Structure formats: structure tokens, C-alpha cells
Amino acid sequence: ESFSSVNFFLSLYRFQACVYFASAFQAMSCGIHYLASVFMAVTPNFVCGIPGNVSSVLFYNSSESSIEDIWTLWASTENYIVVQLENGEIWELNQCSRSKREVSLNLAYEYKGNKSIFSCSDGFLYDATKWKSTVVTQWDLVCEREWLAKLIQPTFMLGVLIGAVIFGDIADRLGRQCVIWFTSAGQFVFGIAVAFTFDYYSFMIVRFLLAMVSSGYLVVAFVYVTEFVGIKARTWASMHVHAFFAVGIMVVALVGFLVRTWWVYQIFLSIATLPFVLCCWMLPETPFWLLSEERYEDAQKVVNIMARWNKVSSPCKVSELCSVQQDDLVSGRTGDNDTSSTKKHTILDLFCNWHIARRTITVWLIWFTGSLGYYVFSLSSVSLGGNEYLNLFLIGAVELPCYVIACIGMDKLGRRNTLIPFLILSAVICVLIMFIPQDFNILIILANMAGKFSIGVAFGLIYLYTAELYPTIIRSLAVGSGSMMCRAGSVVAPFCVYLRSVWIFMPLLLVGIMALLSAILTIMLPETLGKPLTNTLVEATEMGRNKKSCSEKTPPVHSGAALEKIEMFGQETVSTEK
């Protein structure tokens, strides 16, 4: 593992390393915002408020002077607290109602007499042992308003879904650089704004916008680093972005443990975005996108900057790799018209022919299955018990070795040959869990973690694989639409878990079937290991139809091989000098 990581870092030269680590660092903020609601929207123990000052409190056989002393004994939502007010009235406090005893001669927990039931018109009393304040306690999102609290994460995921498509499309139209700038600043601004929202609805709106920019950054960041690093480092560079996302999850656990007031907690989490916001304006546009837009002079400027940073005395000339003659441009585009360079690409281009359409359907299914399985296994792991902060920290930490295994497999076996076995393994584990006796807790926990590990490999791999399967002109759109299917899976996952009430193994059965179907369809996808990134739909289609490199059948104007030389020139030149 350490040897492979060293090779990854050595394969990145100064310019590529700075661009990569700056972009990957911001991915940590995406992991933070995605999981922030885990502790921000906690519902602590609570009971109805009381219409006066309390003189004594009774909970079963325990008598205390204040309700705060009772929370350590609270074990079930079916419990109630008996309180006696200073005026002598005795009340029973439940979670969503309260009752006044008609006869209040002596204070006893059990009472068989008449009671008058009232609503919680005086608000609620919350257990502040773990959290001093959450959004639930801030706006009383309990009882008949409980459904509003349950909408917090699904609404965020809806914003993630929409942002993935919108910003993926914008990145293909306007460039990766402007989207990186906007979404980075947006994460900081909206992240801080969430902490100062004045009611539930403004909180939800700002969080929705935060979800959109967080998702937009993550989608474009994968494309951005993929187009900047060399082919030898592409696998590890893509997967280590996931590692930074996992670190963000661990940061949420750490900050949640240290800060117990939700708006202070949100501010601390958002500050992690600030360093990148201050320097993201220095990141350049990728030569890949500039060449696809025929902005050769701008591409040459970026290449020259890369040469200076990498201490290359004679940088390659874009004009030597890509002909700028209009006649060559037209003749090189088989089947395209003169306006193809300015064509506005839409999601329909992902279905432009049968080969690309079949590829898109398969890729979308893998995205959906990976997300569905990931969250189903994650939700199951929450019931392990123990310290919830440590549990969340470990949930993030377990992803790190998962991505290392995925990187080694992708480099040694290939993208497709790694994806298929782990999808099948996920399906097999889902079936095996069904046959484990319910009293074998340790074995069930290990099996669930193995399932999360295997689906995590597939989940992490699909980002890079998608970027390599599609040409430059629709690459961000392809990754963005795939991320949309991923978020659809994350929205469906909680409802899938609810099916446990029908049959306890129903969620695992659905994940297993989806994983097996995805593995079968993946067999028809082309292998991309060691191949240059394609730049046109013609190249991408040819990659799936024969074993030869697409660049052999396409003109040098938009050849993926030519673009790969620009991507790798610094390393080639330096190695020659050495």
C-alpha cells in the first residue's frame, strides 16, 4: 500500500501536485456538508413543557428536584415523568401530551384516578446532556412537526441531485475553472449562512443551495483532476479524492464530539472551506477543455505555466500536436458538420447512438446501486450501539483501505475487471447475511462491514471509470448525470430500509439483486486501463467496438492521444532530461 502511494506522489510533478491537492482538499468540505445533519438534526429525549415551577420530580422509584436529573434514567419513548408544581398540582408529562391529575393528595408514579389531557401548548423540555441545541430543539420539530425534521436530509440530497446535473452541464459549456470558483465560494457562504437562518424554512432553503454547490464542486473536481494528472497517476488521483471526502466524514465526528450547539458546530465545519476559497482563483482551466473549445492560445498559456512550475526548459507546442487549420478540422470530423464545435451538448448526447446509450444505462445503474448499497449498509451499522461519534468516525475511516484496494485492483486488473468481482461480492454478502442467525451479533456486524467495503470499492471506482468512458465534450455531463443517479439512490435508501417492516431482509435482497444485475451489464463495457482519454463521440464509440486505440482512427485535431501528450508532457520531458 505504501509503495503504491509513493509511486502515486512521485508521478505527480510540482504543478500537477499543487492543483491536485488544492482540489482534493476542498472535497473534504463536501464530505463535511453531506454528513453534517447527522448531529445537527439530532432529536434528543423530550417531554411536554409544564405550566409552572416544579417542586419535585418522580420517575418510577427515583425522586429528583429537577427534570434535568431524570434524563440519565430515561430509557424509552413510552416512559413518562410525574412532576409536582409549587401550587400543588401534579402532572404526567409524556412526549406529545400531558395530563393533569384530578386528585393530587400525594405524589406517586402510578395513578388510577381521573386525568385531564392537554396538548403541549407550553413547548417542550429537551435533554441537554449530549447536545445543548439542535435544529430540532431550536424549532420544536417533534410530534406533529416531526416530519419536518425527517425532510432535512432528503431535501439536502435532492439539492445534491439537481446540483450534480446543473453544474456538470455548466462545466462542459463554460469550463471547469469558473464552476470550481463559484461552487467553492458558495460552500463557504452558504455554509456560514445556514448557521444564521432565522426559521426552519430559511434553514431548508439555504441548505438546499449548499447541497447544490457541494455536489457541483465534487462532480467537477473529479473531472478537473482527471484532466490534469498524467495517465500513470489518474487512478490514484481520482480515488484519493474519495479519501478526502471520507476524511470530511471523520471531521464531522470530531467536531460533533467537541461542539454541542448546532449553529456553532455548523460554523466550525464551514471554516474548513476557507483556505481553498482564498486560493482557488489561481487554479487554471484544463488544456483538455480549452482544446475541445478550439482555444489553442489559451491552452498554450496553461502548458507554458505547467512547464515553468515543472522546470521544463522546452515545453511542447500545442500547434505541433493539434492542427489549427480549418481544412484539417473539417475533414477530421467524420459525420459532423461545420457547427459541431459550437454545438450545445445536452443529456441527450449520452444517448446519441446505441453503443453510447447502452453504456450510459449501465453506468447509471452502477451509480444507483453503489449509492443504494452504501447507504443501506451504513444505516444498518448505526444500530451497532456504543459511542455514536466513534461509530461515525469509523464509518469514514473504513473507506480509506477500501479505496486503496480499489486503486491497486484498477491498476493491476483494470477498471472493469475490478468492478465486476466486487459487485458480485456485494450480492453474495447480501445473501449470506440472510443465513446468519440473529443472535450471532459479531458475525452480522463483520458481514455488514464487508458488504459496505465491497460496495464502497465499486462506488469509488465508478467516478473515474465514468470519466474515462466518455469524451471531453460531455465528460462533466456524464459524471454529473451519474452523480444524479447516485443521489437518487441515496434518497431511495431510507425508504428501502423501511421495508424491514415487511421482511427484515428485504433491503439486502434488493441491494443484492441490483448489484448482481449491475455486474452482468458491466461485462459489456470497454476496458479503459492504459488508454488515452477520448475527446469526441466518434472516439468514445470506437473504444467500445474494437481493441485498437481510438486515436488510430481519428484525426490529430481532437485525438485523445494528442491531448494525453499535453497532459503528460512535463513528465516525459523531465524523464528524458534525467
pLDDT digits (tens, 9 = 90+) for 525-550: 888 887 777 777 787 777 766 544 33
pLDDT of 514 strictly over 90: yes
Least confidently predicted of 79-88, 384-393, 405-414: 384-393
pLDDT of 576 strictly over 70: no
* Same domain assignment for residues 162 and 235: yes
Length of the chain (residues): 578
Who contacts 199 (Cβ-Cβ below 8 Å, separation ≥6)?
Answer: 139
In-domain check, residue 24: yes
Confidence category of residue 512, pLDDT binned at 50, 70, 90: very high
In-domain check, residue 444: yes
Least confidently predicted of 312-321, 478-487, 516-525: 312-321
The DSSP letter of residue 310 is T
H or E element that contains 205: helix 200-228
Between residues 443 and 138, the one the model is more confident about: 138
Average pLDDT over residues 295-313: 72
Say what the pLDDT of residue 262 is: 92
* Same domain assignment for residues 190 and 108: no
Average pLDDT over residues 23-30: 84
Say what the pLDDT of residue 310 is: 66
Name the percent of the chain lying above pLDDT 90.
Answer: 14
Count of beta carbons in the 10 Å neighbourhood of residue 66: 10
Extract the C-alpha cell encoding 397: 475511516
DSSP track, 289-306 = HHHHTT-HHHHHHHHHHH
Sequence letter at residue 361: I
H or E element that contains 516: helix 506-522
In-domain check, residue 322: no
**Residue 303 and residue 570 in contact, taking contact as beta carbons nearer than 8 Å:** no
DSSP track, 373-398 = HHHHHHHHHGGG-S-HHHHHHHHHHT
**Residue 24 and residue 244 in contact, taking contact as beta carbons nearer than 8 Å:** yes
Strand partners, 118: 98
Domain count, the chain: 3
Extract the C-alpha cell encoding 552: 488510430
Integer Cα distance of 105 and 121 in angstroms:
26
* Same domain assignment for residues 27 and 55: no
The DSSP letter of residue 551 is G
* Same domain assignment for residues 501 and 420: yes
* Same domain assignment for residues 179 and 83: no
Confidence category of residue 471, pLDDT binned at 50, 70, 90: confident
Integer Cα distance of 210 and 193 in angstroms:
9
Say what the pLDDT of residue 312 is: 66
* Same domain assignment for residues 379 and 509: yes
Extract the C-alpha cell encoding 483: 452523480
Who contacts 195 (Cβ-Cβ below 8 Å, separation ≥6)?
Answer: 263, 264, 266, 267, 270
- HSE (CB half, 13 Å, CA atoms) of 469? 29
pLDDT of 248 strictly over 80: yes
Say what the pLDDT of residue 2 is: 42
Residue with cell 453504456: 359
Extract the C-alpha cell encoding 568: 503528460
Integer Cα distance of 182 and 190 in angstroms:
12
Residue 87 vs residues 28, 91, 94: alpha-carbon distances, Å? 55, 12, 21
Integer Cα distance of 402 and 418 in angstroms:
12
Looking only at the bridges linking them, the beta strands covering 54-59 and 46-48 are: unpaired
Say what the pLDDT of residue 495 is: 78
∠257-261-265 over CA atoms, to 5°?
Answer: 65
Domain-terminating residue out of 105, 129, 153: 129
Residue with cell 534525467: 578
pLDDT of 130 strictly over 60: yes
Integer Cα distance of 215 and 186 in angstroms:
11
Say what the pLDDT of residue 385 is: 61
pLDDT of 6 strictly over 60: no
Say what the pLDDT of residue 203 is: 95
Least confidently predicted of 7-21, 25-39, 199-213, 250-264: 7-21
CATH code of 527's domain: 1.20.1250.20
Say what the pLDDT of residue 561 is: 45
Name the percent of the chain lying above pLDDT 70.
Answer: 81
Who contacts 382 (Cβ-Cβ below 8 Å, separation ≥6)?
Answer: 388, 391
In 3D, which of 568, 575, 493 has the Cα closest to residue 533? 568
Q: What is the mean pLDDT of the chain?
A: 78
* Same domain assignment for residues 172 and 275: yes
Average pLDDT over residues 558-567: 47
Integer Cα distance of 223 and 485 in angstroms:
17
In 3D, which of 511, 514, 371, 518 has the Cα closest to residue 430? 511
Domain-terminating residue out of 97, 129, 161: 129
Say what the pLDDT of residue 193 is: 94
pLDDT of 399 strictly over 90: no
Give the range of the structural domain holding residue 275, as residue numbers without chain letter: 15-44+134-283
* Same domain assignment for residues 169 and 111: no
Between residues 478 and 497, the one the model is more confident about: 478
pLDDT of 329 strictly over 50: no
pLDDT of 345 strictly over 50: yes
Residue with cell 435533554: 127
Q: What is the pLDDT of residues 209-220, one digit of tens each?
A: 999 999 888 888
* Same domain assignment for residues 204 and 229: yes
* Same domain assignment for residues 155 and 116: no
Say what the pLDDT of residue 548 is: 43
* Same domain assignment for residues 497 and 432: yes
- CB neighbour class for 410 (10 Å; exposed up to 12, middle 13-18, buried from 19): buried
Domain-terminating residue out of 264, 283, 302: 283
pLDDT of 405 strictly over 80: yes
* Same domain assignment for residues 104 and 214: no
Confidence category of residue 234, pLDDT binned at 50, 70, 90: low
Helices (H) then strands (E): counts for the chain: 24, 8
Between residues 319 and 16, the one the model is more confident about: 16
